Structure 1
Amino acid sequence: MTAQPMPCDKEELATLFLFDKLSDEQLARLCREGRVERVEPGYLYREGDDATCFYVLLQGTIVLSRRVGGDDVEVTRSSERGVYAGAFQAYVKGPEHARYQGSARVTEPSRLFVLPAETFAAIMRDWFPMAVHLLEGLFFGTQNTQRVVNQRERLLALGSLSAGLTHELNNPAAAAVRATSALRERVAGMRHKLGVIAAGPYRRDTLETLVGIQERTAEQVAKATPLSPLEAADREDALADWLDAHGIADGWQLAPTFVQAGLGTDWLDQVAAAVDEETFEGAVRWLNYTVETELLMNEIQDSTARISNLVDAAKQYSQLDRAPYQVADLHELLDSTLTMLSGKIGRDIRVVREYDRSLPRIPAYPGELNQVWTNLIDNAVAAMAGTGTLTVRTALDRDQFLVEIRDTGPGIPAEVRDRIFDPFFTTKPVGEGTGLGLAISWRIVVNRHHGSLHVESAPGDTAFQVRLPTTAEPSDAPA
């Protein structure tokens, strides 16, 4: 940017709304310690640069912007005399506030009044000491309030997730306990029946045949596939009829277990051919214990595997054993979040995953991205009030990753759509939301990952779109 020094006229400064209450002596100090410059179109400063100057527009057009992804997105454009930009918070003490929070440029030859940041801070403290104390208190108070509420928001989310995870863990754990208790009874029954068989008139070759059938039966149980209720009922009827015809009392009680294991009348024919009529019923009931034992062990295996998967998902979600910034798999992050929220999502919301599995891994703060997915999915589920379709889609959108969370809820009213990312704004009833979920998500996506967060909404179709750069460096910006 080229700048041409120009005379500073205190009479001109007095016409600006910022300075119209100042005395001649104060205006003279501004001219003495500041300067007027004529600048050509271009940037006055860029986001992240050291905040060195306070600018006031005298003539021309100034544009303020924020960085989103790799682009500067326009926030404000003005030609009004007296609008200001730059280090206007220089009165706040501390080096953490010494960088520009956005970018500024002029779009035509413009005149600007420029004060060095140090001078601006000194003038503010000299002329308005009480106001500076109030503004500092307001600034830091707002920061502290937001920090506390952010922490509260995270704790509320953690509490909700913990409750859901506890519920999800309790189901397979309870199933495993029930199956273990039943298994103990079946094993005891099988031992008893085995003793009866051993004391009976079985020949050695008959026992060997039965043991062989038992082994093949166990293998068959492992391969069994679920049947529809109608198919299962038909097979149970056929098996019960077969057992009744061969003198097995209460065959209808045995039939469901055999059908669940994928065993039919052809299997019973093998058993009947291996033993004589006198010992047939004892052999069938002994094999029934075998089938029940295998089915219960399968249930225990499935339950413990479910518990293990939930624990893995919790570790993936929390990122407790991983570096804060790393290269991660987007789909693992999304799946772990969906698993953690499965209790809240419920059975009446259909979850559709439209993943582009060809996407490369992403450099990011995975734990913070999981917080974004949690907020967006939780809002989508709440909007659908327990029933609808939740679609999670990933894709490569030009040079950015796209993650889209879509729901079939009533939509976001147009009159509040521009405010949903504002801190403390919420459409939920009092006590049900802090209004920080989307604000936190926006900061994580935009400030921390240099991406963008956008919403499109209509009744029955709302989509939050997160775009993230495919290459990025760690950010110093707070989440």
Structure 2
Amino acid sequence: MAETGEQRVLCDIDELRTLFLFEALSDEQLRWLCARGYVETHDPGYVVREGEPAQCLYVLLDGTIALSRRVGDEDVETTRTSARGAYAGAWAAFLEDGVPQTYNASVRAITPVRFFTLSAHDFTELMRRWFPMALHLLEGVFYGTRNTQRVVGDRERLLALGSLSAGLTHELNNPAAAAVRATSSLRERVAGMRHKLALIAGGAWDRSQLETLIGLQERAVEQVAKAPELSPLEASDREDELTDWFEDHGIRAAYDLAPVYVQAGLDVAWLDQVLGLVDEEMLEGAVRWLNYTLETELLMNEIEDSTTRISTLVSAAKQYSQMDRAPHQVLDVHELLDSTLVMLSRKIGDVHVVKEYDRTLPDIPVYGAELNQVWTNLIDNALQAMDGEGTLMIRTGRSGEDMLQVEIGDTGPGIPDDLVSRIFEPFFTTKPVGQGTGLGLDISWRIVVNKHRGDLSVQSVPGDTRFIVRLPLRDHEEDAS
């Protein structure tokens, strides 16, 4: 419904004839228009608002109007015109239930204006009676394009899912294989310990010696948990020191024992303490018994690390897909970004990832699985632009009082100036034939702008391309209540 002051008068067929929309119509058709429509004037202000039921088609006779779309909490002006014959409003009414019958843009009078106004019902009748062939062609183009977008969009999602599944399988296979190898080795070490235990049970050592050995065993296990991270050079130097110590004390196969002791965090000083607690004749037996203990502890740690990695990957996949969650929830955007990075870790490869997260940001109402699709498209595009080397930057923060902002940037060659304005168009792609559908950014745009009432934009110069996603901190439905 119009919000500005308006006045209605009868139309003049001679005036209608001067408009490019109606110049080819017959007098009979013009009289039909004047009988069904009317001329109305509006003071400056909103004529209709986006999202209201589309009731009328407005054709500009005099004055200046501006069209705008709602992006987040702002109206963004898309068109301003004084051209006679410019139209707005229920122009898609003839598609009937094929599209939502609401105004897809707000219309605002900048100056006092005059419109020729026709109801949506009469405009639909006009189109179907006077232009049946044109109407069928328009419907064919509209529904054909929409169906193509749907089919290709589904294919785009399947391709992305296939790529992510392959990456996830690869990432799961590594820790799984490590766990299998460690389990096999652990079985051998436990068998060796049983054999050694049988020898001990044969009476080689007395009770006090066994108690000393068990005490050393407990201290060695504690030391494994505190083992420092060593560089390859540091580890090599320590192995040489331990090998010399073992050989000096007559212990055979010293080069096999030294790496295990170094990995467990034990050094020459620790072995000197062992020497002070056991007799010389039982030193080699104690060292080898401790070696079995250290190996089993290290193998169990490897199994734990591998299974934890598998669990982390499964949790990330569950977070990414939002499995077992409602479609629309209040979520932490950082968790969504991190789960996407995990899913894309194989593609990331040697690319340096820089995360600058504002952890003070609140959780926001989003469609998690669909927003993850946006992150996937933007990050994947950035990785392809960098071709395996460069820096991927992900930054979060506030944009004004009511919006959360996510920047996804890369250090690739950038987007040419003449293409920046087209990258969100359906089917537009700069990738070679067969490597892109041209719908990734279009899908991302619709998810961010249409579904979340946010904004998606790009800034690009060579070496610094940034896609900027702005999302409302609060649900727009809550704001409207």
TM-score, length-normalised on structure 2? 0.96
The C-alpha deviation readout for 1:69-89, integer Å capped at 9, x for no partner, is 011111111111111111111
Query: Could you tell me how far apart the structure 2 residues matched to 1:353 and 1:39 are?
Result: 52
Query: Could you tell me how far apart the structure 2 residues matched to 1:196 and 1:269 are?
Result: 25
Candidates 312, 315, 319, aligned match of 2:318: 315
SS at 1:454's partner residue? strand
- Give the residue type in structure 2 aligned to 1:374: T
| Residues 1:389 and 2:383 aligned together | no
- Give the residue type in structure 2 aligned to 1:290: T
Candidates 409, 412, 434, aligned match of 2:415: 412
Query: Could you tell me how far apart the structure 2 residues matched to 1:312 and 1:67 are?
Result: 36
Do the aligned residues in 2 keep the contact of 1:353 with 1:393 (CA within 8 Å)? yes
Query: Could you tell me how far apart the structure 2 residues matched to 1:93 and 1:74 are?
Result: 27
Candidates 186, 190, 196, aligned match of 1:187: 190
| Residues 1:328 and 2:331 aligned together | yes
Deviation at residue 97 of structure 1 after TM alignment: 2.4
Query: Could you tell me how far apart the structure 2 residues matched to 1:397 and 1:200 are?
Result: 76
Query: Could you tell me how far apart the structure 2 residues matched to 1:174 and 1:473 are?
Result: 48
Deviation at residue 200 of structure 1 after TM alignment: 4.8
Matches within 5 A, 1:440-455: 440-455=443-458
Candidates 9, 29, 34, aligned match of 2:32: 29
Deviation at residue 96 of structure 1 after TM alignment: 4.6
Question: 1:296–1:229: structure 2 CA closer, same or farther, 3 Å change rule?
Answer: same
| Residues 1:67 and 2:70 aligned together | yes
Query: Could you tell me how far apart the structure 1 residues matched to 2:275 and 2:200 are?
Result: 15
The C-alpha deviation readout for 1:81-111, integer Å capped at 9, x for no partner, is 1111111111112175211111111210111
Query: Could you tell me how far apart the structure 1 residues matched to 2:439 and 2:345 are?
Result: 22
Deviation at residue 196 of structure 1 after TM alignment: 2.1
Matches within 5 A, 1:37-186: 37-94=40-97, 96-186=99-189
Deviation at residue 250 of structure 1 after TM alignment: 2.3
Unpaired runs of 5+ in structure 1? none
| Residues 1:218 and 2:221 aligned together | yes
Do the aligned residues in 2 keep the contact of 1:210 with 1:271 (CA within 8 Å)? no
- Which residue is 1:240 aligned to? 243
> 88-97 or 128-137: which moved more?
88-97
The C-alpha deviation readout for 1:325-349, integer Å capped at 9, x for no partner, is 1110111111111111111111x11
- Which residue is 2:372 aligned to? 370
Query: Could you tell me how far apart the structure 2 residues matched to 1:143 and 1:440 are?
Result: 13
Deviation at residue 277 of structure 1 after TM alignment: 2.2
The C-alpha deviation readout for 1:101-156, integer Å capped at 9, x for no partner, is 11111210111111000000001111111221221222112111111111111111
- Give the residue type in structure 2 aligned to 1:14: R
Do the aligned residues in 2 keep the contact of 1:197 with 1:283 (CA within 8 Å)? no
Deviation at residue 237 of structure 1 after TM alignment: 1.1
TM-score, length-normalised on structure 1? 0.97
SS at 1:123's partner residue? helix
Query: Could you tell me how far apart the structure 2 residues matched to 1:280 and 1:193 are?
Result: 14
Query: Could you tell me how far apart the structure 2 residues matched to 1:200 and 1:390 are?
Result: 64
Do the aligned residues in 2 keep the contact of 1:61 with 1:79 (CA within 8 Å)? yes
The C-alpha deviation readout for 1:187-217, integer Å capped at 9, x for no partner, is 1112112222332521110011101111111
- Which residue is 2:347 aligned to? 344
Do the aligned residues in 2 keep the contact of 1:64 with 1:105 (CA within 8 Å)? yes
> 153-162 or 275-284: which moved more?
275-284
Do the aligned residues in 2 keep the contact of 1:325 with 1:474 (CA within 8 Å)? no
SS at 2:467's partner residue? strand
Candidates 18, 33, 36, aligned match of 1:15: 18
- Give the residue type in structure 2 aligned to 1:356: D
Deviation at residue 474 of structure 1 after TM alignment: 5.8
Do the aligned residues in 1 keep the contact of 2:453 with 2:476 (CA within 8 Å)? no
Candidates 294, 302, 317, aligned match of 2:297: 294
Query: Could you tell me how far apart the structure 2 residues matched to 1:243 and 1:27 are?
Result: 108
Do the aligned residues in 1 keep the contact of 2:404 with 2:473 (CA within 8 Å)? yes
Do the aligned residues in 1 keep the contact of 2:56 with 2:117 (CA within 8 Å)? yes
Query: Could you tell me how far apart the structure 2 residues matched to 1:374 and 1:95 are?
Result: 31
Query: Could you tell me how far apart the structure 1 residues matched to 2:99 and 2:439 are?
Result: 23
Deviation at residue 301 of structure 1 after TM alignment: 0.2
Candidates 198, 201, 207, aligned match of 1:198: 201
The share of aligned pairs that are identical, in percent, is 67
Do the aligned residues in 2 keep the contact of 1:364 with 1:474 (CA within 8 Å)? no
SS at 2:431's partner residue? coil
Q: What is the RMSD of the two structures over their aligned residues, measured on CA atoms?
A: 1.3
SS at 1:93's partner residue? helix
- Give the residue type in structure 2 aligned to 1:157: A
Deviation at residue 36 of structure 1 after TM alignment: 0.9
- Which residue is 1:471 aligned to? 474
SS at 1:445's partner residue? helix
- Which residue is 1:251 aligned to? 254
Query: Could you tell me how far apart the structure 2 residues matched to 1:409 and 1:197 are?
Result: 65
The C-alpha deviation readout for 1:238-293, integer Å capped at 9, x for no partner, is 11111111001221221111001100112212322333222221221111111111
- Give the residue type in structure 1 aligned to 2:297: E
Do the aligned residues in 1 keep the contact of 2:52 with 2:103 (CA within 8 Å)? yes
The C-alpha deviation readout for 1:382-409, integer Å capped at 9, x for no partner, is 1110011111111112221111111111
> 192-201 or 306-315: which moved more?
192-201
Query: Could you tell me how far apart the structure 1 residues matched to 2:477 and 2:374 are?
Result: 17
Unpaired runs of 5+ in structure 2? none
Candidates 206, 230, 235, aligned match of 2:233: 230
Deviation at residue 171 of structure 1 after TM alignment: 0.7
